[in-house]
Amino acid sequence: MVKDLVCGMEIKEQEAAASSIYKGKEYYFCSRTCKKKFDETPERYIESEEREDDESSSEEDDESLSEEEGSSLEEDKPQPEIEKKPVVEKVDKAKSERIDLPIVGMSCASCASTIQRGLTGINGVEKANVNFATSKATVLFQPQLAKPEDFISSVRKSGYEVGTASLELPIQGIECASCVQRIEKALLQTRGVVKAVVNLATAKAKVEYLPSETDLEEIKRAVESTGYKVLEFEPSEEVEDPERMVREKEYKKLKTKFIVGLALGLFVFLGSSRHWFPWIPSFLGNFFVLWILATPVQFWIGWQFYKGAWGAFKHRNADMNTLIAVGTSAAYLYSVVATLFPSFFEAAGMKPDVFFDTSALIIVLILFGRLLEARAKGQTSEAIKKLIGLRPKTARVIRKTKEMDIPVEEVLVGDIVVVRPGERIPVDGTVKEGKSAVDESMITGESIPIKKKVGDEVIGATINKTGSFKFQATKVGKNTALAQIIKLVQDAQGSKAPIQRLADVISGYFVPIVISVAIATFVIWFNFGPFPSLTFALLTFVAVMIIACPCALGLATPTAVMVGTGKGAENGILIKGGESLETAHKLDTIVFDKTGTLTKGEPEITDLVSVNAKSEEEILKYAASAEKVSEHPLGEAIIKSAMERKIELHEPKDFKAIEGHGIEARVDGRNVILGNIKLMKDRGIDIKDLEKKAEEFAGEGKTPIYVSLDGKSAGLIAVADPLKESSVEALEKLKKLGLKVVMLTGDNRKTAEAIARKAGIDEVLPEVLPEDKVHEIKRLQSEGRRVAMVGDGINDAPALAQADVGIAIGSGTDVAMEASDITLIKGDLKGVASAIELSKRTIRVIKQNLFWAFFYNIAGIPVAAGVLYPFFGILLNPIFASAAMAFSSVSVVSNSLRLRRVKLRS
């Protein structure tokens, strides 16, 4: 038997439909099409076959290795610690992966903990986090031990669904069953693909996938890697934004159920209240008719409660579904017994009564609450929707000297893209030709259009205002700034704020306690209640079960975090997670890195003093030549000044940077030293004649740089880095918020203090070497302060990570942004105050929400249990209890939505 390299089918050599000889070796094929494909690109098939062989042999190696380890473990029992080591190491080395699963059908925080418990129980799962507000499960797992399918089936076992998207791809060239297998295998190996079925008859592949993990392009690539072509097709809207489609589908289903339930529930209600509405026909009051009307509401419309309750029960958990299912079932079953065996009640001296209206209306009202909640929850992620909406669909690129419109997904790095006035820039890139002004407000929040010329960078999704230009694409697809921002905001919205732990712990204990309270209420009313005590006991039992729903508690924090982080993104403030948002409101000290953060980061030479009969030009020539290979901003300022004066520079030799102090090099055979007073003293250079002048410069906020030639002082260069226009205003705002502002700089004390005076800063930490920034932050923290660090450079990254909240200025480096908790896309320092203000407001909303959620339950349960009855004769009807419960979650979500209207004054 031989293998057809194109479709993978095993065939007999003598039965092969065709064969080809390539590099002296004969290859056999099941059909002429396979042969044709092979002949076109033989290397591709041979290479992919070799790769497969390598993979399978390495898998075998792995297996045999673990077998060997296993056997050695068994054989050498006396020394288990020594022998066990390699196994442990192997597990440690394995890289864990992360997957996000959209969950459908969650109704409260307890549902989230049910799913979370199921996921955590899977072998290979390191951590699972289910967020109720974002309806998302984030799983950290060891890919060799667990697979995404396991997570999906666990979620389904818990009674919920995973929001997957599906699409049908028309594929060219499928001819045999092996082709089908090959494509299916390739698809299933693609991360995020849950199910793949290829139909030979229709030549179409039906793919079910997780939109958060993969996209159409990746799926297409997987098919094409097997040698088949995906034909052009119009992707349905589902592919464009599948998560939204899933949400909308669920909403529509809920709406239909609600409308049908409302109609049936109304009939049940009218039939049960004939004493209020005597015009109702008498047959509608018949218990059997009411039973028939209430049954679909109980078991079709209310099925989701039973499903959820059972899923939770299996995991030894109880959630709001449990409460609703048990509560309404009690009322329903009591009524069924009263309908079938009225004599049983009559024998006990009671009038048989039914509560079909109670069970049906509770279900309908709760469904109504969920409908409102689903709509409001959709609005909390509006910021993300707005960001996704910014993505342009097409791009005009130049390929083979021709301009053509292509889908934005097909733009490649290096493509030249043409943008006309009024058009959206499709991807990130660098301007190559032409100039224009670009409105970047949607990304940075900066309202004034930014001028762009050749060499400037443009961001995808921003709008070109005035002129036409061509740019070269540098970042496409998932790497564009917009895609990164969307990912960051999505992650932040899905993260949990520490304050939520309280709600999580409480909702975990809450439901079983409520069930206990409800049973106790039933027993007490049955024993001590007035006649008919059974009816009173049943109604209070149902009312307690229904009013005590932990869903408002579960929604209190995550909805506010979602709206808060979304609001931040709209204003150019990217907050990495709930934790950062929460910590930001507790801050009391803000540390600013000076260069590039408070100042423009573009230092200029302001003064030049020469001594020992050297000319200014000569000093500048040596200084600038020595700095030629340095990357320090002060060095750049000296070079720039020399270039402006048209001074010819020479290549330095033996260049040495003394970090935080200066540089040393040889220029034209002369030894040049540039640096601060410490460096000069270390080298034994006499600088007495310059010291006074240097102090004068420092007093003006300028950085004095001594220049020495061949061990003798030659001159002094004063460099100043002007403050950003927004710095003073921003610092004032921070002070108004009651924060202590500290400046961190490598400058000497005098210079630093002069700059601090100009900026209005009270505390200065001068002469701090780059590597000591992190120690300074630690020192401030050890004093009990809550510190935020604001910085932009790579050398700020450790300090940003050490601070309680690291704030990176967006115009800075990617490393700084990576290490920070908050990123200000617009390089404006006013964003620091805005971020803190936003955090304070969000936390205020969370606290309000938690108060109301607790208040509803704490006040509602005793009333429902009938505490007020002996004193005021007030008893809560279970129908009102369900309305109150629905209202509680809606009010909490609406309170969070108020954050959307907040105007950040700073």
Partner 1 sequence: MLAKLIVTVFGVLLIVLVNWYFFFSRRKEERKQ
- Residue 151: HSE in the Cβ half-sphere, 13 Å Cα cutoff: 35
- Whether the CB-CB separation of 141 and 135 falls below 8 Å is answered with no
Strands 653-658 and 402-407: unpaired
Alpha helical stretches, state H, 529-577: 533-547, 551-570
Go through 774-787 and write b for each residue having 16 or more CB atoms within 10 A of its CB, e for each that does not: bebbeebeeeebbb
Q: How far is the CB of 522 from partner 1 (least distance, A)?
A: 6
- Can residue 317 be called a binding residue for partner 1 (CB under 8 A)? yes
Subset of residues 673 to 732 that bind partner 1, contact rule: CB under 8 A? none
- Whether the CB-CB separation of 683 and 714 falls below 8 Å is answered with no
- Rounded to whole angstroms, the maximal C-alpha distance in the chain is 124
Query: Strand, coil or helix: what is 77?
Result: coil
Nearest to 731 by CA among 830, 605, 878: 830
Pick 279 or 531: Cβ nearer partner 1 = 531
- Segment lying near partner 1 (by CB under 8 A), choices 357-365, 489-497, 508-516, 559-567: 508-516
- Can residue 154 be called a binding residue for partner 1 (CB under 8 A)? no
Q: Which is the catalytic residue, given 319, 504, 593, 796? A: 593
d(CA 508, CA 532): 35
Q: Count other C-beta atoms under 10 Å from residue 210's C-beta.
A: 23
Q: Which of 94, 197, 340, 520 binds partner 1 (CB under 8 A)?
A: 520
- Segment lying near partner 1 (by CB under 8 A), choices 67-75, 316-324, 552-560, 563-571: 316-324
- Can residue 511 be called a binding residue for partner 1 (CB under 8 A)? yes
Residue type, 16: A
Pick 401 or 527: Cβ nearer partner 1 = 527
Q: Which of 219, 515, 680, 893 binds partner 1 (CB under 8 A)?
A: 515
- Segment lying near partner 1 (by CB under 8 A), choices 12-20, 313-321, 594-602, 664-672: 313-321
Alpha helical stretches, state H, 76-176: 80-93, 109-120, 148-157
- Under DSSP, the state recorded for 904 is -
Pick 110 or 713: Cβ nearer partner 1 = 110
Nearest to 369 by CA among 830, 881, 905, 904: 881
Pick 447 or 527: Cβ nearer partner 1 = 527
Pick 518 or 897: Cβ nearer partner 1 = 518
Subset of residues 610 to 629 that bind partner 1, contact rule: CB under 8 A? none
Residue type, 387: L
- Segment lying near partner 1 (by CB under 8 A), choices 74-82, 217-225, 256-264, 504-512: 504-512
Q: How far is the CB of 322 from partner 1 (least distance, A)?
A: 9
- Can residue 316 be called a binding residue for partner 1 (CB under 8 A)? yes
* Cα 766 off chain centre by: 37
Instruction: Judge whether 593 counts as a catalytic residue.
Output: yes
Could you tell me the two tokens for 367? 């469904």
Binding mask 812-851 for partner 1 (x = CB under 8 A): ----------------------------------------
Pick 350 or 437: Cβ nearer partner 1 = 350
- Can residue 519 be called a binding residue for partner 1 (CB under 8 A)? yes
Residue type, 773: K
- Can residue 505 be called a binding residue for partner 1 (CB under 8 A)? no
d(CA 727, CA 751): 17
- Segment lying near partner 1 (by CB under 8 A), choices 46-54, 357-365, 516-524, 624-632: 516-524
- Segment lying near partner 1 (by CB under 8 A), choices 81-89, 141-149, 349-357, 512-520: 512-520
Pick 356 or 510: Cβ nearer partner 1 = 510
Pick 104 or 122: Cβ nearer partner 1 = 122
- Can residue 318 be called a binding residue for partner 1 (CB under 8 A)? yes
- Can residue 139 be called a binding residue for partner 1 (CB under 8 A)? no
Q: How far is the CB of 514 from partner 1 (least distance, A)?
A: 10
- Segment lying near partner 1 (by CB under 8 A), choices 312-320, 351-359, 466-474, 556-564: 312-320
d(CA 182, CA 36): 18
Pick 316 or 400: Cβ nearer partner 1 = 316
Q: How far is the CB of 512 from partner 1 (least distance, A)?
A: 4
Subset of residues 521 to 560 that bind partner 1, contact rule: CB under 8 A? 522-523, 526-527
d(CA 379, CA 385): 9
Subset of residues 54 to 73 that bind partner 1, contact rule: CB under 8 A? none
d(CA 491, CA 100): 10
Q: How far is the CB of 557 from partner 1 (least distance, A)?
A: 24
d(CA 654, CA 663): 10
Alpha helical stretches, state H, 632-707: 633-644, 677-682, 688-699
d(CA 203, CA 887): 51
Residue 550: asked if its preceding bond is cis (omega within 30°), the reply is no
- Can residue 901 be called a binding residue for partner 1 (CB under 8 A)? no
Burial class (CB in 10 A: 0-12, 13-18, 19+), 631: exposed
Alpha helical stretches, state H, 783-824: 797-802, 814-819
Q: How far is the CB of 866 from partner 1 (least distance, A)?
A: 16
Pick 412 or 520: Cβ nearer partner 1 = 520
Sign of the C-alpha dihedral computed for residues 600, 602, 607 and 611 taken in this order: positive
- CA 234 to each of CA 168, 207, 263, 407, 767: distance values in angstroms, whole numbers, following the listed order: 10, 15, 40, 12, 63
Q: How far is the CB of 860 from partner 1 (least distance, A)?
A: 20
Could you tell me the two tokens for 716? 């002094």
d(CA 442, CA 368): 36
- Can residue 512 be called a binding residue for partner 1 (CB under 8 A)? yes
Binding mask 99-128 for partner 1 (x = CB under 8 A): ---------------------xx-------
Q: How far is the CB of 791 from partner 1 (least distance, A)?
A: 43
Pick 454 or 523: Cβ nearer partner 1 = 523
Pick 318 or 709: Cβ nearer partner 1 = 318
- Segment lying near partner 1 (by CB under 8 A), choices 25-33, 146-154, 518-526, 714-722: 518-526
d(CA 636, CA 634): 5
Rg (CA), the chain: 36
Q: How far is the CB of 117 from partner 1 (least distance, A)?
A: 8
The count of residues interacting with partner 1 (CB under 8 A) is 16
Q: How far is the CB of 768 from partner 1 (least distance, A)?
A: 48
Sign of the C-alpha dihedral computed for residues 637, 642, 643 and 645 taken in this order: positive
Binding residues for partner 1 (CB under 8 A): 120-121, 316-318, 509, 511-512, 515-516, 519-520, 522-523, 526-527
The residues assigned a catalytic role are 593
